Structure 1
Amino acid sequence: MKHEYDDGRSTLAITRRDGEGVWIGDDVYVLYESAPRPRIIVEAPRDMPVVRDSLLPADQAERDRAAVEAAEQGAPAYSGTVSSLVLGIGRRGLRVHIGRPGIDLTLDVQRHTGAAARFAVTAPRELTILRDELAEDLVA
C-alpha cells in the first residue's frame, strides 16, 4: 500500500517477520527482531540523526518550524561509518525519525505480534525502499 503527499514524500506499508528487514535508500537498514522482546535495529550513517518521536517537541507548530529551518539549510550529505541503534517496541507501537524530522524519513511500527511487525515508511519519493531479500537479489 502506498500513499502520496503534497510535500514530495510518500508512505509505503510493509510487513516484516522476525529476522527480516527493509532497506531505505542505500544507507539505512531497519531489522525487526521479536526475541527476547519486540524491537527494531536501525543501521544508518553515524552522522544521521535517529530520534524517537516521543523525544521531539510535542507542539506541532514547533515541529513544523524546525522542519522549515532544516529545509532552508539544504540537504545534508550524510557520510561516515554506519552505526546501529536498538529500539524497543511498546504496546502502542513506535515512531522514529531518521534524518531531519518531517523532511527525510519516518518509520512507524503500526502493530506487532511476536512473529511480525507492520511498518509504514514515509520518505521522499525518489528514495528506493526494498525488502532485504529484494536488495540481495539486486546485488547478486
Structure 2
Amino acid sequence: MNKIRHWIKAAKVCIRTLFASEKRLSELIFEGLSSSSAVTPPLQPLFSLSSPSRSYSRRSPEKLFKILDLHDALADLLPDIDVVFESKAAESIRVQAAEILSRLAEAARGILSEFENAVLRNLLRLGSGGTIHPLTRLIQGSVRW
C-alpha cells in the first residue's frame, strides 16, 4: 500500500507542479512552441505503476482498494493531464491516461463481480445460522473509516 500512496503523491507533484512548470517555462522561452514530447519519457514509469496489467492480473478482493485508490487519483489528475499535455504532439499521453483509467475501472468491476460470485458460492455451503460470512474479513481488513 505504501507504493500506491507514494505513486499518488509523486503523480500529483509531477503533473501539477513539475510538468505544469516545465510547460509554462517552455512557453515563455519558446514563445508558445510545444515541448510536451520532452516529458514523455519520464511519464512512462509514472504510468506503469498505475496500469492494471502491471500487477493486477490476478483479480483478488485484497487488491480492490488499491485499484480504487489509483483510479480516484488518476481521475482527479485527468483534467490536469489534459491541460498540461494539450498539444497535438502530446495526444498519446492523454489517450494513455484515459486508457489506464478505463482499465482500472474495468479491473475494479471484475474484482467486485468475482467477489460477488465467491460470496454466492460460499452461501450455498454455509447455510443459515446468523454468522458473519468468512469472506467479509477481506473487506474488514481493507476498509478505511
TM-score calculated relative to the size of structure 1: 0.28
TM-score calculated relative to the size of structure 2: 0.27
Say which structure is richer in helix.
2
Structure with max Cα Rg? 2
